């Protein structure tokens, strides 16, 4: 009767109010059979790390369109580490300038998706990341 579902936290840190992208991704992951915990707008890094801990998620998807990704992403990664959740993989979707991408990956962000990214790619990458966490 063991049933392992992939659990994903979809969160929007920061102050911009554009949540359409986050909702599209949440819906796509749902349709791929995953359990998506959706936290809504204007989450602080502390709120996101706390939700990730309580929900014991495998993967976190952050939607950032405010330009504050270089401040928000490292803070969230740091909090995850502090909580003993360094194995949880973090993805970012939104508007990320090309020059920031390598630095975000260096910090430990697993994947970055801009406008036009296919949900199929996202689903595939999330599945792989969840598998990595649980091995």
Partner 1 sequence: MSLTQSLLEGNRLALARLLTQVENDSPEGRAALAELFPHTGKAHLIGITGAPGTGKSSLVNQLALHYRRNTDKKVAIVAVDPSSPFTGGAVLGDRVRMRDLSGDDGVFIRSMASRGSLGGIALKTASLVQVFDAAGYEVIIIETVGAGQSEVDVARLAHTTVVVEAPGLGDDIQAIKAGILEIADVLVVNKADRPGVENTERALRSTLELAHPTKRVFRHHGKAMTIAGSTIDSSVWIPPINKTVATGGQGIAEVAESIAKHAAHLRQSGDWAARDRARLVSEMEALLRETLMDRFLQNVQQENYEEMIEKIVNRNISPHEAVKLLLNGK
Compare residues 1 and 98 and give the one whose CB is closer to partner 1. 1
Between 102 and 132, CB nearer to partner 1: 132
Which positions ≥6 away from 118 have C-beta within 8 Å? none
Q: Is 24 in the site for partner 1 (CB under 8 A)?
A: no
Is 17 or 33 the residue whose CB approaches partner 1 more closely?
Answer: 33
Q: Of the two residues 35 and 121, which places its CB atom closer to partner 1 in the complex?
A: 35
By CB under 8 A, what part of segment 72-101 binds partner 1? 83-85
Beta strands in 3-84 (DSSP E): 7-11, 35-38, 59-64
38 lies in the binding site for partner 1 (CB under 8 A): yes
Cα–Cα distance, 132 to 97 (Å, whole number)? 28
- CA separation for the pair 38, 83 (Å, rounded): 20
Asked if 34 is part of the footprint of partner 1 (rule: CB under 8 A), the reply reads yes
Q: Is 17 exposed, middle or buried (0-12, 13-18, 19+ CB in 10 A)?
A: exposed
**Positions that interact with partner 1 (CB under 8 A):** 1-5, 7, 26-27, 29-40, 43-44, 46-47, 50-51, 53-56, 83-85
């Amino acid at each position: 009767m063991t049933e392992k579902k992939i659990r994903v936290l979809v969160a929007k840190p920061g102050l911009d109010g554009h949540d359409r992208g986050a909702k599209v991704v949440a819906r796509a992951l749902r349709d791929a059979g995953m359990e998506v915990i959706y936290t809504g707008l204007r989450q602080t890094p502390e709120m996101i790390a706390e939700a990730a801990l309580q929900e014991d998620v495998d993967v976190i998807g952050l939607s950032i369109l405010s330009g504050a990704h270089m401040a928000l992403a490292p803070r969230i990664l740091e909090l995850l580490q502090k909580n003993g959740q360094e194995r949880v993989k973090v993805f970012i979707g939104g508007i990320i300038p090309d020059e920031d991408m390598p630095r975000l990956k260096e910090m430990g962000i697993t994947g970055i998706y801009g406008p036009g990214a296919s949900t199929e790619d996202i689903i595939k990458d999330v599945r792989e990341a969840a598998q990595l966490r649980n091995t």
